[in-house]
């Protein structure tokens, strides 16, 4: 039986029972193999863009005796599936911009897909923005730390059948509606849509210590960039430094405010 990392196990727990799954960038087909072995799904496509990883995935599936239930395919992004072939797509371990571009290039392949489970290594806001612009509802976010790295897992659904469409659209609009979360010396601290995209609308609702640690680390990285900008006499560098300083101030205010309200 396959044993998954904490990251992949958390993704597996979000796969709807009994769904047909396409795992894009499948990494030895570990996730599809686990899902089938656990009886969680009946069929999966393991997609890889390069022959080496494709061959490794084929060897994994063959050794597990699951060739009839897992189809390993070579292709770019969603090119490995046909419209209506799967209900769930997982994409993990890539940059957020790449995940968004894969989804955008394969829009015609999303027919019949009801659930996306996405784990960007960086650039989570690019994924949230694509989902929002293309009618998907971000239903949950999870964050975890494993082996010194922090990962976010975004789950989204699509209302293809137009069931209770008005309620569905209302939930989508409310997700990124600006929120006042506290007060500072300069006035109200408001989470704008842009900030919610960046920080995660579900994650800020219930901020964990891992989430706080991530953004403290991001602030430290931003501060190093700001220091390097201070060494330049160019006007453009001064302007970028000012913008970065304002961004850091906003993020720090949010962190401070949210930690104060935690029990």
Query: What DSSP line would sit under the chain, residue for residue?
Result: -----HHHHHHHHTSPTT-EEEEES-TTTHHHHHHHHTTS-SEEEEEESSHHHHHHHHHHHHHTT-TTTEEEEE-SGGGGS-TTS-SEEEEEEE-HHHHHHHHHHTGGGGTT--EEEEEESS-HHHHHHHHHHTT-EEEEEEEEEETTEEEEEEEEE--TT-TTHHHHHHHHHHHTS-EEEEEETTEEEEE-HHHHHHH-TTTTTS--HHHHHHHHHHHHHHHHHHHHHHT---HHHHHHHHHHHHHHHHHHHHHHHHHHH--
pLDDT tens per residue across all 263 residues of the chain: 889 999 999 999 999 999 999 999 998 999 999 999 999 999 999 999 999 999 999 999 999 999 999 999 999 999 999 999 999 999 999 999 999 999 999 999 999 999 999 999 999 999 999 999 999 999 999 999 999 999 999 999 998 777 788 999 999 999 999 988 888 777 888 899 999 999 999 999 999 999 999 999 999 999 999 998 888 888 888 899 999 999 999 999 999 988 875 54
The CATH fold assigned to 179-261 is Helix Hairpins (1.10.287)
The CATH fold assigned to 6-172 is Rossmann fold (3.40.50)
Task: Compute the radius of gyration of the chain from its Cα atoms.
Answer: 21
Alpha carbon distance 168, 80 (integer Å): 30
β 115-120/43-48 pair status: unpaired
Q: Is residue 170 packed enough to be buried (19+ CB in 10 Å), middle (13-18) or exposed (0-12)?
A: exposed
In the chain, what are the domain boundaries? 6-172, 179-261
| Model pLDDT for residues 55-104, shown as the tens digit of each residue | 999 999 999 999 999 999 999 999 999 999 999 999 999 999 999 999 99
Alpha carbon distance 116, 124 (integer Å): 14
With beta carbons less than 8 A apart as the criterion, state whether 45 and 14 touch. Answer: no
pTM of the model: 0.94
């Amino acid at each position: 039986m396959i044993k998954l990392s904490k990251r992949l196990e958390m993704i597996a727990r979000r796969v709807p029972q009994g769904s047909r799954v396409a795992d894009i960038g499948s990494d030895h087909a570990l996730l599809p193999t686990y899902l089938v072995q656990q009886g969680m799904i009946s069929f999966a496509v393991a997609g890889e863009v390069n022959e080496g990883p494709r061959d490794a995935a084929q060897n994994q599936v063959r050794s597990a005796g699951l060739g009839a239930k897992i189809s390993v395919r070579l292709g770019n992004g969603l090119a490995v599936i046909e419209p209506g072939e799967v209900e769930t797509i997982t994409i993990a371990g890539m940059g957020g911009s790449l995940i968004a571009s894969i989804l955008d290039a394969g829009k015609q392949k999303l027919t019949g897909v009801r659930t996306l489970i996405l784990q960007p290594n960086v650039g989570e806001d690019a994924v949230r923005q694509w989902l929002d612009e293309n009618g998907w509802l971000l239903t949950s976010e999870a964050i975890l730390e494993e082996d010194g790295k922090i990962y976010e897992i975004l789950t989204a659904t699509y209302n293809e059948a137009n069931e209770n469409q008005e309620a569905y659209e209302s939930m989508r609009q409310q997700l990124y509606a600006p929120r006042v979360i506290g007060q500072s010396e300069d006035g109200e601290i408001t989470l704008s849509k842009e900030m919610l995209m960046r920080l995660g609308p579900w994650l800020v609702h219930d901020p964990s210590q891992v989430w706080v640690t991530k953004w403290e680390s991001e602030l430290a990285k931003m501060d190093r960039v700001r220091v390097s900008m201070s060494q330049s006499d160019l006007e453009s560098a001064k302007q970028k430094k000012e913008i970065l300083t304002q961004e850091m101030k906003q993020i720090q205010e949010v962190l401070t405010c949210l930690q104060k309200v935690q029990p």
